Structure 1
Amino acid sequence: YPMQCSALRKNGHVVLKGRPCKIVEMSTSKTGKHGHAKVHLVGIDLFTNKKYEDICPSTHNMAVPVVLRHDYQLVNIEDGYLVLMDDSGDTREDLKCPDNELGKEIEDKQQREDFICVTVLKAMGEETPIGIKSAKD
């Protein structure tokens, strides 16, 4: 959805160079002789952690991605894919286990514990696991 540049905030989300990003830095420059105040945005891609920058007039609209978080119970890991179950009992097997620290942590905990909650971040048609928590009763 569109949002005026001046209304964006640090730690909020914005689309930079066509990618959903979390705003990590933001500064506004004063109006010059000609034109508008400019907003300098620095964002980190939610999925690739790449850094993107953009400068836009403060009165212009920027696209803001709809970012959703969803918790799933980890059932298993099969062929590098996570088998996840949501609250209603539906399972999905379309998310790859990330090959980073989080992925290793998911695999380690899956071997040691029986109940793990995986938080999945979804934005602009992409999804990725971003965190886990143990849910020992």
Structure 2
Amino acid sequence: MADPELDFTTGESGASATIPMQCSALRKNGYVVLKGRPCKIVEMSTSKTGKHGHAKVNMVGIDIFTNKKYEDMCPSTHNMDVPHIKRNEFQLLNINDGFMSLMADNGDVREDLRVPDSELGKEIEQRFAAQEDVLVSVLSAMGEECAVAIKQMTGK
């Protein structure tokens, strides 16, 4: 008999948060996981092959959530993880106790995203106080989410 405790209506697909990609195939302005964090590549340089035969790729990346700088070096033939990055836009409905109420295109409302502690967060609060209709761009990767941009809603 089936176990009545199991709920299959919600669940993860089991898909990985990253995909492997050969280091030499990565490009500037692309994304990569450096030191366990999803980063945007801002600088890349390749050294010549040494006496052991591997060209090395030196990468500098900026964390897409915290804006911290990370550096890593990897042989060009080795694989590195590339994060799956998803960008969604939500309409800002309300701000309550530092959390934003956001509505998706399909009408679903979420209230679990914190207002960022940055200039962007101040701008979101100012525009909300001025009762402007704004869209908030939310970036999600590797189980983390963060508001990264804001723009004026166009007339409907």
Distance 2:82 2:23 in 1: 10
TM-score, normalisation: structure 2 = 0.86
Structure 2 residue aligned with 1:53: 71
Provide the rounded CA distance (Å) in 2 between the counterparts of 1:35 and 1:20.
29
**Counterpart in the other structure of 1:108:** 126
**Corresponding residue of 1:22:** 40
Matched AA of 2:61: G
Q: Deviations over 1:78-128 (max 9, x none)?
A: 110000000000000111001210001001111113411000000000000
- Match status 1:3 vs 2:21: yes
Return the index of the structure with the highest Cα Rg.
Answer: 2
CA distance in 1, matches of 2:52, 2:20: 25
Q: Which residue of 2 aligns with 1:33?
A: 51
**SS in structure 2 of the partner of residue 64 of structure 1:** strand
Q: Which amino acid aligns with 1:100?
A: S
Higher-strand-fraction structure: 1
Give the 3-state SS of the residue equivalent to 1:39 in structure 2. Answer: strand
Number of the residue aligned with 1:132: 150
Name the aligned partner's letter for residue 70 of structure 2: Y
Partners of 2:150 and 2:65 in 1: CA distance = 16
Of 101, 122, 128, the residue aligned with 1:83 is 101
- Taking the aligned partners of 2:52 and 2:132, their CA distance within structure 1 comes to 63
- Match of 1:93, SS state, is strand
The answer to whether residue 52 in structure 2 is matched with residue 43 in structure 1 is no
C-alpha distance in 1, partners of 2:149/2:107? 20
Task: Name the count of aligned residue pairs.
Answer: 137
* C-alpha deviation, 1:35, in angstroms: 2.6
Provide structure 1 residue ranges, at least 5 long, that are not aligned to the other structure: none
Deviation at 1:136, TM superposition (A): 4.1
| Ranges of 4+ aligned residues in structure 1 off by more than 3 Å | none
Cα RMSD over matched residues?
0.8
* Seq. identity, %: 68
TM-score, length basis structure 1:
0.98
> For residues 65 and 141 of structure 2, what CA distance do their matches in structure 1 show?
9
